[in-house]
């Protein structure tokens, strides 16, 4: 049993480091988006807008929104409404958290699978957004399944932690 716990701790550490890395990438994406939009706004007032600024900010939205989600889950920072659940005994609360984690794994696992298919098909077709410049959109499609996949793994980890809490209380 100690080797299983050690493996679980190693996997948890890897998930945490990946989540932190994706948070950093999302922060860099937000910084690039902010600088692009500020530069575009000033450019419009002075000379002209930055070509591709809108396309860049739209594409970076996937980076900013989806990559940090696993980090938020790791810290259990997602919104939860537990006004009623707090009135239950601790074991019942753990069971409810475990069931909600199972539902989360099913939903986000399905979203990961579906966005993976979309990213693959758009990569094969070489999806572009036609505008002032031809902006390749397909690379940014991959941020959704990556972010959602790691979020799913973190939710699964949360479910396993809740299951061990339930079993310890017996």
pTM: 0.88
Provide the pLDDT for residue 11: 87
pLDDT tens for residues 56-86?
898 999 999 999 999 999 988 888 777 888 8
CB of 145 within 8 A of CB of 119? yes
- Which residues in the chain come in under a pLDDT of 50? none
Instruction: Please report the pLDDT score of residue 9 as a whole number.
Output: 82
Scanning the structure block, which residue is given the tokens 């939009």?
37
Judged on CB neighbours under 10 Å (0-12, 13-18, 19+), 126 is: exposed
CA-derived radius of gyration, the chain: 20
The distance of Cα 87 from the centroid of its chain, to the nearest Å, equals 31
Number of alpha helices (DSSP H) and beta strands (DSSP E) in the chain? 6, 2
Beta strands 135-136 and 128-129, pairing class: antiparallel
Query: Closest Cα partner for 156 from 85, 100, 87?
Result: 100
Classified as helix, coil or strand, 7 is helix
Q: What pLDDT, on the 0 to 100 scale, is given for residue 130?
A: 86
């Amino acid at each position: 049993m100690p080797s299983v716990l050690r493996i679980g701790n190693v996997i948890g550490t890897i998930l945490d480091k990946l989540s932190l890395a994706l948070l950093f990438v999302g922060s860099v994406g937000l910084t690039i988006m902010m600088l692009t939009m500020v530069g575009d706004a000033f450019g419009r007032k002075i000379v002209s807008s930055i070509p591709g600024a809108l396309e860049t900010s739209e594409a970076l939205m996937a980076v900013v929104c989806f990559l940090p989600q696993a980090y938020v889950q790791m810290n259990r920072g997602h919104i939860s409404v537990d006004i009623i659940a707090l009135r239950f005994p601790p074991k019942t609360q753990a069971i409810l958290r475990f069931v909600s984690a199972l539902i989360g794994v099913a939903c986000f696992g399905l979203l990961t699978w579906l966005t993976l298919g979309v990213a693959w098909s758009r990569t094969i077709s070489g999806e572009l957004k036609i505008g002032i410049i031809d902006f390749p959109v397909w690379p940014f499609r991959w941020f959704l399944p990556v972010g959602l996949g790691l979020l799913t793994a973190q939710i699964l980890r949360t479910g396993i932690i809740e299951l061990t809490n339930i079993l310890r209380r017996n």
